[in-house]
Structure 1
């Protein structure tokens, strides 16, 4: 069974989410604060974390920051205010989706199911071919990336985004198309998560959005891969 960690300081919310998630066949663990969550994340890593932003002691953003140093588990951030989502997306904190309170447990469960259907994340890249571009090489079979001769550590979503671009250089992808290809056809979260992961991918690869040599923004449409094949 896939494991989901629910992190929230309200016991009632944890109990409700546990009930819905266990009914779908998930193994559910709980944490009531940030410190407890970090212990649980290291001792028995989950496939996905439902993480409240406002936690006593270590807040959700700090938990996420530390989590990203040792895990690429999916993270759905939970915030109490809808307007907070804009701020969180702008910060590029590395979450895969966002939900706001009050939420429907059914909707949250549906988002978890959609995210975890990406179990076989390597299936979104194919073949044993080595993709080479100026200053960049991608090994889809090994899920490895080198930029200027140095290995680059990418999250699973970041790698899948890069592989999607590199498979069709020059093609313009809308955010919706990228969500369908990388996150999955049944993903219905916030499409701004694409911008967050593009920003993070560019940072890892040393790509400048104002003068891109890899991923260019096509204003009003989406993104395209502009690197030249070798």
Structure 2
């Protein structure tokens, strides 16, 4: 079955180019030129992933993302202005799974999308669905969720992947290069702060002890410390 993608982009030429490319790569593509149209399609039509431009003519992509995150954990890839660090940081805080700067390389966009979709598909079809407990956290792979004291954490698809990898190696250091490959499905590139932003969000969502739970091991990576 073809993966279904919703492409929300107000630049007609770019949207048409990306839609054609994605279709040629085997995706079923729905298009929207405004934030409101994108929200309506995302909520009214089944899709597997959203590619969302931040700069839209009515409501911006970050507001669209906030609305989506109130109802769904669909994987979302943001299209951001090149060099705009603020948009990327806020995007991850709101709940983006990944980003790619514009003008974007369609081949790289497809690679990012496929990595996200592979992770979701793998968790959905894995036979190891038994819950795993790590301190006050419980990983439920069959539901793709993590509970803290029996309450589900509000995690994006990528945050779930990052945290479940850290929990699987609790007490040990997970190298950034490995965590990037295992959780995000791609190599760590120089100056890429995507993983750092997801870690920051996880620390915040884990509460006041978050920074102590996920320890930065300088020059190596991260380690999850189970609270005593």
Give the shorter-chain TM-score range.
Answer: 0.7 to 0.9
CA contact (8 A) 1:129 1:140 kept: yes
Aligned to 2:83: 83
Aligned to 2:157: 156
CA contact (8 A) 2:97 2:159 kept: no
Alpha-carbon offset, residue 36 of structure 1: 0.6
Give me the whole-angstrom Cα distance separating, in 2, the residues matched to 1:5 and 1:36.
11
Alpha-carbon offset, residue 59 of structure 1: 0.4
Q: How does 1:1-230 map to 2 (within 5 A)?
A: 1-80=2-81, 82-84=82-84, 86-91=85-90, 92-122=93-123, 127-185=128-186, 191-210=192-211, 212=212, 214-227=213-226
CA contact (8 A) 1:18 1:28 kept: yes
Alpha-carbon offset, residue 126 of structure 1: 6.8
TM-score under structure 1 length normalisation = 0.84
Deviates more, 1:102-111 or 1:6-15: 102-111
CA RMSD of aligned residues (A): 2.7
TM-score under structure 2 length normalisation = 0.85
CA contact (8 A) 2:4 2:27 kept: yes
Per the alignment, in what secondary structure is the counterpart of residue 56 of structure 2? coil
Give me the whole-angstrom Cα distance separating, in 2, the residues matched to 1:50 and 1:193.
17
CA contact (8 A) 1:4 1:29 kept: yes
Alpha-carbon offset, residue 209 of structure 1: 4.7
Give me the whole-angstrom Cα distance separating, in 1, the residues matched to 2:20 and 2:148.
45
Alpha-carbon offset, residue 114 of structure 1: 2.8
Deviates more, 1:125-134 or 1:38-47: 125-134
CA contact (8 A) 2:131 2:141 kept: yes
Alpha-carbon offset, residue 125 of structure 1: 7.3
Change beyond 3 A, Cα 1:189–1:141: farther
Q: Which is helix-richer, 1 or 2?
A: 2
Per the alignment, in what secondary structure is the counterpart of residue 206 of structure 1? coil
Give me the whole-angstrom Cα distance separating, in 2, the residues matched to 1:224 and 1:147.
18
CA displacement, residues 29-80 of structure 1 (integer Å, 9 cap, x when unaligned): 1000111111011001321111111101110110011111111122111123
CA contact (8 A) 2:75 2:157 kept: no
Alpha-carbon offset, residue 15 of structure 1: 0.8
CA contact (8 A) 2:9 2:33 kept: yes
Alpha-carbon offset, residue 96 of structure 1: 1.9
Report how many aligned residue pairs link the two structures.
225
Give me the whole-angstrom Cα distance separating, in 1, the residues matched to 2:118 and 2:87.
25
CA contact (8 A) 2:202 2:210 kept: no
Give me the whole-angstrom Cα distance separating, in 1, the residues matched to 2:121 and 2:147.
23
Alpha-carbon offset, residue 22 of structure 1: 0.5
